[in-house]
Amino acid sequence: TQLLEQSPQFLSIQEGENLTVYCNSSSVFSSLQWYRQEPGEGPVLLVTVVTGGEVKKLKRLTFQFGDARKDSSLHITAAQPGDTGLYLCAGGNTGGFKTIFGAGTRLFVKA
Amino acid sequence: DAMVIQNPRYQVTQFGKPVTLSCSQTLNHNVMYWYQQKSSQAPKLLFHYYDKDFNNEADTPDNFQSRRPNTSFCFLDIRSPGLGDAAMYLCATSRGAIPTGTNYGYTFGSGTRLTVV
């Protein structure tokens, strides 16, 4: 059974700080996504990575896929209160339909 | 705007009373999914439809059923809700199976929060 573990579970930081959250698995994924979910809403796709070692940037967010495609990280520079939310990583394999989700990192950025 | 819409946003049902949650999409995506998300837990796939082809996850209880009358609509039926079924139910869509490229991801609705009393 493929599992994704995310750490930390909770993170509370001050506005302007940097942070990194992690997504780890013992399984290889051909595709990994990061979503952000706000309270009472559905997750919103941030990025998809597919190549080992790939780095993608989305404004202040930097996503990295591990060389072995088993892990990923999300780094936020100069966090803002608008970054508050639940960050979910999700992985799947080519040709399949099932996407496995991690339990998420709940981020709170204080003004 | 193309989107995924779930109704209702909040549903309160009585223990054992059948309930139906609905999902519609204007994306014309082939695949529709139902996920169950409990507090502090990962969203858990219940089943998905690829066009009219229904695919149930092995550990989805028989209490959960689904219907997809056409491309745009998909329903989640809970035949006899128990207290343990209280959760956020998320509908998602995708164009097809997971491809080799990066042009992939789910579009989620806003979810239906189900309370069982």
Tell me if B110 and A41 make a contact (CB, 8 A cut-off).
yes
- The residue among A24, A28, A48 with the most chain B CBs within 10 A of its CB, best to mutate, is A48
Mean pLDDT of chain B: 93
| Torsion (CA) B10, B12, B17, B23 in degrees, nearest 10 | 0
Which pLDDT band, with edges at 50, 70 and 90, does B2 fall under? low
Question: Identity (one letter) of the amino acid at A15?
Answer: E
**Which pLDDT tens digit goes with each residue over B79-88?**
999 999 999 9
Please list the rounded mean pLDDT of every run of 10 residues in chain A (111 residues).
92 98 95 93 93 95 96 98 96 87 96 95
CA distance B12 to B15: 10
**Which pLDDT tens digit goes with each residue over B19-36?**
999 999 999 999 999 999
CA angle B51, B52, B58 (to 5 degrees): 100
CA angle A55, A87, B33 (to 5 degrees): 100
Tell me if B98 and A30 make a contact (CB, 8 A cut-off).
yes
